[in-house]
Chains A and B, each alone.
Chain A
Amino acid sequence: DQQVKQNSPSLSVQEGRISILNCDYTNSMFDYFLWYKKYPAEGPTFLISISSIKDKNEDGRFTVFLNKSAKHLSLHIVPSQPGDSAVYFCAASAGGSQGNLIFGKGTKLSVKP
């Protein structure tokens, strides 16, 4: 059973608009969440993270929101750029450690010029 779910396999957005990528989790012990971005033929690269003591973390165009009661997090990209086109993975871990990161299956974002 998947503990981290990204229910949208793909998302298409116009350049300049907001991209919202969603992630749901089932394990209430998760307390650390990350987003990774992956281009074809490359490894995932870290984008942004959030601890469960916060409900928002922002880094430039990227903001992650955490709703613990709903076991839901989202990544907002504003404004979206064509270079943001990639697969985005949500990941979670428990115990304040990233020793056992559980990844979602990813959402492929396409940003059209």
Chain B
Amino acid sequence: QSALTQPASVSGSPGQSITISCTGTSSDIGNYKYVSWYQQHPGKAPKLMIYDVSNRPSGVSDRFSGSKSGNTASLTISGLQAEDEADYYCNSYTSSNTWVFGGGTKLTVL
């Protein structure tokens, strides 16, 4: 199973909005609603930010939102804050009953 495709890096200024894309295939993102997004700060374990494409766990800011169209999922962060600077990974369930992660996107808050 090949990794999902994410941009290596994105950046934005405080207060702005950014979107991170995650492209898969009809064997993963395109055929299932099971897309999740994880935030990882350096040296820390990942943290769940979005599950089932667009749902936020309790405690996650509503500045984070998710969506999906066809084989591509997206994570949008609005009102960027310095603390949002981190690596972000998408994840999808696959037709092989396995999971696959994206390669990760480094978000820089300018």
Q: Do A and B bind each other?
A: no
Residue numbers of B with Cβ under 8 A of A are: none
Residue numbers of A with Cβ under 8 A of B are: none
